[in-house]
Amino acid sequence: MSTESLKISITQRILNISDYSFLEKIDRFLSRKNIIAYDVNGNPITEEAYISDLDQINSEIDKGTAALSSSEEVKKRIIDANNLV
């Protein structure tokens, strides 16, 4: 089935639904944000939030205010934080 055929089929099925609460569920599903990842605490990260964070970081880099770390500094922090030595 082509993309267009699938769209038409879904549209026809939705038009035949008379259960308002079910239509609300479909609307909520179609309106939800695109979740692309989860943080270390299991909270969802939306595509919009991710792009916003990247824009913020790029802005800080451009201004020279970003807190940057070398690979060795990151490795040392991980080792120290997890008592791996």
Read off the tokens for 52: 């916003």
pTM summary value: 0.51
H or E stretch including 46?
Answer: strand 44-46
Specify whether the CB–CB gap between 45 and 39 falls below 8 A.
Answer: yes
Q: Is the pLDDT of residue 3 over 90?
A: yes
Read off the tokens for 69: 């770390």
Q: Is the pLDDT of residue 54 over 90?
A: yes
Predicted confidence at residue 85, as pLDDT, reads: 76
Instruction: Identify the band that residue 81 occupies on the pLDDT scale cut at 50, 70 and 90.
Output: very high
